[in-house]
Structure 1
Amino acid sequence: MTVTAGLSPVGAVGDAGRGVLAATLDRVGGLPTTEVRHGLPAADEQWISCADLLADPAMFDRWRKRLADWLGERHEGQIPERTTSGYIMSWYLQVPGFLGGLLFHAARRVPSLRPADIAFRLSGDRPHPDGIALLSDEFCCLPEDPESHRPEATAVADERALAAVFRARFTAHAAKFVTAFGPGTRFGRRTLWAAATDALDTAGWLAGRCLGDEGSGVADSALFLPAAEAPLTSASTLRAVTGDCGRTVWTRRRESCCFHFALPDQPACTTCPRISEDERAERVLAR
């Protein structure tokens, strides 16, 4: 796919070899809505380096403009800047968050999450990331991991320690995003870090849902956010809701807002912090 609106892509290159993480992503990365892969394809798809994007915040302006045009085709009236900024804030942070959460959930491995080691692809229609590429072989794992002897592997004591590595690596990436993205928006640091908290909290949950074990994914998210640890803004807010018929579903309250409700005639999202817990439960059970 071709990235438009002036976003600078990284050049497409083939994989140099198939390592441990490449094999893992070959197994679990072919998801229906988001491709997660190791290395960049040899085809002429265009991928955006996270490092390049964070080094040139004007690229975020072009991304917002492209999103505003897309939303403008679907909603009458003016598209608020806070909505395009809110969408992109959430979308970007989900790139390192979902990548790390997927590998943690699938294999108990945490990859490098440095901006230089991640690229993503925007969909040709709705301009959201529909592909994520890991560009590094380095990973942390548990002592019992069969690949822990490899030179690219670093073993840590247990699952809590591994989750702490993921949290630290994600937070380091998010800090670079806050520095690059924040000055171009009206969002304060608390809002930006709330969005980072949301991305980390949903990382395990979404991975579990994608791979068919939602409950286990929720447990992973609890490992990622056992408490509010600054600059992150809360512990995991995931909770189970049970209806009168006995059906149980998972939901959460967002710490940040995507400002979808600011679009003409649009309601607040189910996870929006603006709605009550009773309304949230009623809405998720009615799905």
Structure 2
Amino acid sequence: MTVPARTTVCDVTTPVARSLGRASLYEGFETRFGLPAERGEWVLCSELMGEPERFDAWRETLSRWLLEQHGEAPERTTAGYVMSWYLNVVGVLGGLLFHTARRVPSLRPADVAIKVAPAGRPHVVGVALLSDEFACLPDDPEGDHPAATVVADETALAALLRARFAAHSAQFVGAYGPTVRLGRRMLWAAATDALDSAAWTVGQLCGDETAGVMDSALLLPAKLDPFTSASTLKATDTGWTRRRESCCFHFVLPNAEACATCPRVR
């Protein structure tokens, strides 16, 4: 199936565009509203869903990089890396606006684009939002904007982000799952990790980790289908941490160990 390239004219003066413009993530990671005139490495998430062989090409590029770096490129590792990279960036996009502006954007695959590094390690280095639709709280100063949908309170806003992320993840599971040897439970565990860590990560980057942890508790207050657990964030003597639900299979690489938060480490 071929998905036609979508041309989107984005008004960068809309409320959600301004919210995104005021926020930032990792150094060297591009967060933007709309796509550049020359798309380059940018790809719509809907294009990946419509042509799952693009995931195969992504994993092949990763395999070549892993062979150069480690001498081996296990299929489980390439599958786990791409799974985590993709879901994490969609989760962080939602978590970024939820945490910094109490706004929830559209997360439909046609409304999100990602950029994969063109050379070296082929990880995600950018995310773009293409829709000016957003949900917000009753006290949002731009709640009367035509693109806004007002919800009752923070609990309802968190539930909406959870539902929108779940809907996107369901399409990812349906498209990516048949291309890899990962079970459905593992794919939804990775989606759970992405949602649980999204607001926490943004809180860390914005200088208020505890607020990010509280947002994660709003997003996953309990084990809610299709997610595999409630938030697993917990305080330790050295700070906040969480137990992952999924595995990226990094430990399969030569001389590598399981990550400290891996479910394989108890």
Q: TM-score scaled by structure 2? A: 0.94
Larger relative contact order (C-alpha < 8 A, sep ≥ 6)?
2
The CA distance in 1 between the partners of 2:6 and 2:133, in whole Å, is 22
Please name the residue that 1:264 is paired with.
254
Q: Percent same amino acid among aligned pairs?
A: 59
Task: Give, in whole Å, the separation in 2 of the partners of 1:241 and 1:126.
Answer: 32
Structure 2 equivalent of residue 231 of structure 1: 226
CA distance in 1, matches of 2:31, 2:180: 29
Aligned to 2:263: 273
Per-residue deviation, residues 119-165 of structure 1 (Å, max 9, x unmatched)? 01011321111100000000000000001011100111110100000
Aligned-partner residue type, residue 196 of structure 1: A
Structure 1, unmatched stretches of 5+, are 1-7, 243-247, 277-287
Does structure 1 residue 255 correspond to structure 2 residue 250? Answer: no
Superposed CA deviations along residues 45-66 of structure 1, whole A, max 9, x for unmatched, are: 3311000001111011000000
Q: Distance in 2 between matches of 1:174 and 1:110?
A: 16
Question: 73, 88, 91: which one pairs with 1:94?
Answer: 88
Contact 1:14–1:41 (CA<8 Å) still a contact in 2?
Answer: no
Against the structure 1 CA distance between its residues 119 and 10, is the aligned structure 2 distance closer, same or farther, given a 3 Å change threshold? farther
> In the aligned structure 1, how far is the partner of 2:236 from the partner of 2:77?
29
In structure 1, what is the equivalent of residue 127 of structure 2?
132
Paired residues in the alignment total 263
Coordinate RMSD, CA, aligned: 1.7
Tell me the CA shift for residue 14 of structure 1. 6.6
Q: CA deviation at 1:42?
A: 2.8
Q: Distance in 1 between matches of 2:213 and 2:156?
A: 18
Once the two structures are superposed, residues 217-249 of structure 1 have per-residue CA deviations (whole angstroms, 9 ceiling, x without a partner) of 11111111000011110000011111xxxxx41
Distance 1:187 1:44, change over 3 A: closer
Relative distance call for 1:129 and 1:9 in structure 2 (3 A) is farther
3-state SS of 2:259 partner:
coil
Does 1:67 pair with 2:57?
no
TM-score, structure 1 length as denominator? Answer: 0.88
Contact 1:10 1:47 in 2 (8 A): no
Q: Tell me the CA shift for residue 43 of structure 1.
A: 4.6
Distance 2:8 2:40 in 1: 10
Matched, 1:214 2:204: no
